[in-house]
């Protein structure tokens, strides 16, 4: 019998063929992500996802409007997926926001557009619009909540 030890190649020599292309692809993807401006959009969604007060207070104002209750019925609470499905744009150092999210009611669905400004750590709502695609009257409805 032959008692010679078999020398194995180093890790680098065994795996360089897949390591270099994968590392290059990851680095190119990261550069494209930052150059495309998606980092700002991601930051806006992260801020909106964490700022539940913005949506909860707007939802309370919408629920208190009798026209909304007549058209949509009882409105469900806003879930986190509704925020990610919508659009968000923060400006002025995250002091102003324009956002749009979906609402579900017992009688129908709507999109809620919010324009608000943060003053003394509280949101001041300039405008809350509800866009109802198919209300009971079968007409396009836009309701502005004061």
Instruction: Give the pLDDT score at 98.
Output: 92
Take residue 87 and report the two structure tokens written for it. Answer: 């659009």
d(CA 18, CA 85): 36
Residue 48 burial by Cβ neighbours in a 10 Å radius (0-12, 13-18, 19+): buried
HSE-up of residue 113 (Cα within 13 Å, Cβ side): 8
Q: What is the pTM of this model?
A: 0.68
Higher-pLDDT residue of 16 and 48 is 16
Handedness of CA 41, 47, 50, 54 (dihedral sign): negative
**Does 18 have pLDDT greater than 90?**
yes
- Among candidate residues 62, 53, 140, 66, the one with its CA nearest the CA of residue 102: 62
**Per-residue pLDDT reduced to its tens digit, 61-88:** 888 888 888 888 899 998 878 888 888 8
The helix/strand/coil state of 110 is strand
Q: Which of 89-93, 125-129, 130-134 has the lowest mean pLDDT?
A: 130-134
DSSP 117-132: EEETTEEEEEEEEEEE
d(CA 129, CA 25): 43
**Confidence label for 138 from pLDDT (cuts 50, 70 and 90):** very low
């Amino acid at each position: 019998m032959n008692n010679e030890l078999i020398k194995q190649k180093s890790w680098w020599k065994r795996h360089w063929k897949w390591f270099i292309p994968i590392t290059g692809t990851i680095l190119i993807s990261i550069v494209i992500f930052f150059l495309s401006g998606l980092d700002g959009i991601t930051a806006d969604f992260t801020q909106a996802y964490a700022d539940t007060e913005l949506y909860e207070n707007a939802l309370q104002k919408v629920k208190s409007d009798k026209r909304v209750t007549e058209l949509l019925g009882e409105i469900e609470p806003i879930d986190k997926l509704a925020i990610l499905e919508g659009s968000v744009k923060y400006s002025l150092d995250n002091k102003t926001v324009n956002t749009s999210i979906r609402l579900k009611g017992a009688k129908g669905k709507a999109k809620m557009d919010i324009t608000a400004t943060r003053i003394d750590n509280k949101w001041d709502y300039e405008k809350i619009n509800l866009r109802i695609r198919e209300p009971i009257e079968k007409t396009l409805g836009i309701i502005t909540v004061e």
